[in-house]
A and B are shown apart, each in its own frame.
Chain A
């Protein structure tokens, strides 16, 4: 079979099992678009901006575990995609991005729509390729998928000059089943000796703590994790990215940790004597001040990426390997070993933790005559029975969604944790809804973030995506406003959103349903009414309390035991330090 480069590229995607290709056409990729037109295997989803193509592919990947695939043209097509590529890179999301490039003969001449895509994307991809020989095209695509999806996943860019897709040049097609690369052999299996050391250390713990990150979600480790946590009966906390890996409703789960984590989770981190980090990378939003991070703890760290280990926090027992496999081996050792957890010490530790929990740190003013954003998220959980896919943008609404939705399953919470990209939520929801047409997909956003990719309402209409947009509209860039209130003496510099559009009319003009909610008494009924419209996109413009803040909060650079707490919580335990000793 002889095919042109363009046909080969499309055929590779089919052979790779790609369902959806998120993209936007342009001069350098016209041959590829022509090849796409002449087949039905790969569904092309036409977005309205290349940033959205990458976020949609990213959302698809986060929800399904399969790589997201993107096709954009050279120059501005590629540069617009960069934000989405960097977003995926920071959160280790498998993605293959095909960028068109000007013909080989004019590369380097500042040709029309030419940009050094390989150079521009280099710092924010796992790897990238420039195709220089059409006979290597299929092999390069195979390598791209292999690199993107194995080891610590990440985005891979393949830059394809226009002449590589020339319909006049036909060559034999062969897509390799398997590929090996001498320079890339990711470690998968954890070292058994280290795993044994870790288990021994875990069983000596008097004040243990399990801290889990996005690696447990990406590595499909939920089942092993549940067995592990429940066998030990140790307190569990999760990062923003790890939410859903272990059920929020489980008594052992003491909530999220870090900058906006619960009082009990942060205090327990500060007080623990053995910490096991499972697929987490000790991000600065989690650790706070490095010098005061878990001051008394011996630390075990499981991660597939050796460079994550001892990067910011020096650990005592490093284990490089796939999280699921390592936990499986640990579970086996725990089950067959003779040693038990330190029951008496553990009971005392739980007693201390329960005293911290009694502060009720997540409480908020439930009597207010204004809509409280936290209440909106609680209702969202109730109406969707906690079973929705929730995407979010970035800011206060993201933290409230993380704190109040209560994720029971992995791959349900889809947000830009590392890069913190506003504009992520709506296109990511498109990717999720395409993957799961019958699922409830809600995008929790704010009036600031939603405007960064609002044009995608048009894409949603074209493909009939019944996403529910929960816009917590406080007429402020809320997180910026919160920091300005706390740290800049209420000088609200450029954080007020003036001249907002009428979001209801805006949604309607795109052919969707818009619902404005202003009174807390209407909130539940209106949400229910909107969610009942199963085949429509509904934009909920929810007018929330303008001055509500996200609590608890650890100021950047402070320790875990130095939190700003909500004025609506209960009293702190008399002397937490005393109870610790």
Chain B
């Protein structure tokens, strides 16, 4: 099953490599990993999307907690939560028909066209991992020039939070 694990980690050099090293050393899957500092500059927040049986995911959370730099951890998938990913996608759009169709699809998915040239559109799209996947599928008849995805960020709904 797919899990989204949120971590507060000391904002120190090498903290990211400890997490990445743990996943490779213990052969855990990693779908995406994002990390950036929080409002407290001594802490970074990391979101890891992983996939595994309950037993494996339990080990993943325990092993992550065991890392000395990890301050707190929350498996967002255990409760209601929101996940978002940002995607930048550059699509070939040189004919009138192409330009209209790409614009229409972008509107349907609530994307923003943020760069326009005579032959290309670049679209910014935010949503769950599923939504960004669907948008790529929807563009099947068009030529995608490049795709950049931020990886998933997540947060729990309501009062539940991950803080020190």
Q: Which A residues are CB-close (under 8 A) to B65? A: 306-307
- CA–CA, A122 to B67, complex, Å? 11
Question: Of residues 50 to 100 in B, which have CB atoms within 8 Å of A's CB atoms?
Answer: 55, 58-59, 62-63, 65-66, 68-71
Q: Which A residues are CB-close (under 8 A) to B118? A: none
- CA–CA, A182 to B11, complex, Å? 13
Q: Which A residues are CB-close (under 8 A) to B66? A: 305-307
Inter-chain contact B17/A307, CB cutoff 8 Å: no
Interface of A is mostly: mixed
User: Interface size of A by Cβ–Cβ distance < 8 Å?
Assistant: 19
Q: Would you give the 0/1 interface string for B129-163, flagging 1 where the beta carbon is closer than 8 Å to chain A?
A: 00000000000000000000000000000000000
Tell me whether A122 and B63 are in contact in the complex, defined as CB-CB below 8 angstroms, given that A147-B68, A183-B71 are known contacts.
Answer: no
Inter-chain contact A183/B17, CB cutoff 8 Å: no
CB<8 Å pairs between A and B, sample of 19: A119-B14, A122-B17, A122-B18, A123-B21, A126-B68, A127-B68, A147-B68, A181-B68, A182-B71, A182-B164, A183-B10, A183-B70, A305-B66, A306-B62, A306-B65, A306-B66, A307-B66, A310-B55, A310-B59
Cβ of B164 to closest chain A Cβ, rounded Å = 6
B108 adjacent to chain A (CB < 8 Å): no
Interface residues, chain A, CB within 8 Å of chain B? Answer: 118-119, 122-123, 126-127, 130, 147, 181-184, 305-307, 309-311, 314
Partner of B59 from the list A122, A123, A130, A311 (CB cut-off 8 Å) is A311
- CA–CA, A127 to B22, complex, Å? 13
Tell me whether A183 and B21 are in contact in the complex, defined as CB-CB below 8 angstroms, given that A306-B62, A310-B55, A310-B58 are known contacts.
Answer: no
Cβ of B5 to closest chain A Cβ, rounded Å = 15
Among residues of B, the one whose C-beta sits closest to the C-beta of A186 is B66
B13 adjacent to chain A (CB < 8 Å): yes
Partner of A130 from the list B13, B58, B62, B68 (CB cut-off 8 Å) is B13
- CA–CA, A344 to B95, complex, Å? 90
Tell me whether A123 and B25 are in contact in the complex, defined as CB-CB below 8 angstroms, given that A118-B14, A130-B14, A307-B63 are known contacts.
Answer: yes
Q: Which A residues are CB-close (under 8 A) to B71? A: 182-183
Cβ of A568 to closest chain B Cβ, rounded Å = 42
Q: Which A residues are CB-close (under 8 A) to B9? A: 183
- CA–CA, A181 to B164, complex, Å? 12
Partner of A307 from the list B10, B62, B69, B70 (CB cut-off 8 Å) is B62
Among residues of B, the one whose C-beta sits closest to the C-beta of A314 is B55
Cβ of A349 to closest chain B Cβ, rounded Å = 31
Size class of the contact patch on chain B: 20 to 34
Cβ of B126 to closest chain A Cβ, rounded Å = 31
Partner of B69 from the list A118, A119, A183, A311 (CB cut-off 8 Å) is A183
Q: Which B residues are CB-close (under 8 A) to A147? A: 68
Since A183-B9, A309-B62 are in contact, a sample of 9 more A-B pairs with Cβ atoms closer than 8 Å, ordered by chain A residue number, is A118-B14, A122-B17, A122-B18, A123-B25, A130-B14, A182-B71, A184-B68, A307-B59, A307-B65
Among residues of B, the one whose C-beta sits closest to the C-beta of A132 is B13
Q: Which A residues are CB-close (under 8 A) to B25? A: 123
Cβ of B11 to closest chain A Cβ, rounded Å = 11
Inter-chain contact B68/A183, CB cutoff 8 Å: yes
Cβ of B65 to closest chain A Cβ, rounded Å = 7
Cβ of B156 to closest chain A Cβ, rounded Å = 20
Cβ of B63 to closest chain A Cβ, rounded Å = 5
Interface pairs A-B: 3 shortest CB-CB: A307-B62, A127-B68, A183-B71
- CA–CA, A88 to B136, complex, Å? 50
Q: Which B residues are CB-close (under 8 A) to A123? A: 21, 25
Q: Which B residues are CB-close (under 8 A) to A130? A: 13-14
- CA–CA, A183 to B65, complex, Å? 9
Q: Which A residues are CB-close (under 8 A) to B70? A: 183
Among residues of B, the one whose C-beta sits closest to the C-beta of A122 is B21
Q: Which A residues are CB-close (under 8 A) to B18? A: 122
- CA–CA, A150 to B127, complex, Å? 44
Q: Which B residues are CB-close (under 8 A) to A310? A: 55, 58-59
- CA–CA, A64 to B25, complex, Å? 32
Q: Which B residues are CB-close (under 8 A) to A183? A: 9-10, 68-71
Question: Of residues 14 to 48 in B, which have CB atoms within 8 Å of A's CB atoms?
Answer: 14, 17-18, 21, 25
Cβ of B123 to closest chain A Cβ, rounded Å = 39
Q: Which B residues are CB-close (under 8 A) to A306? A: 62, 65-66
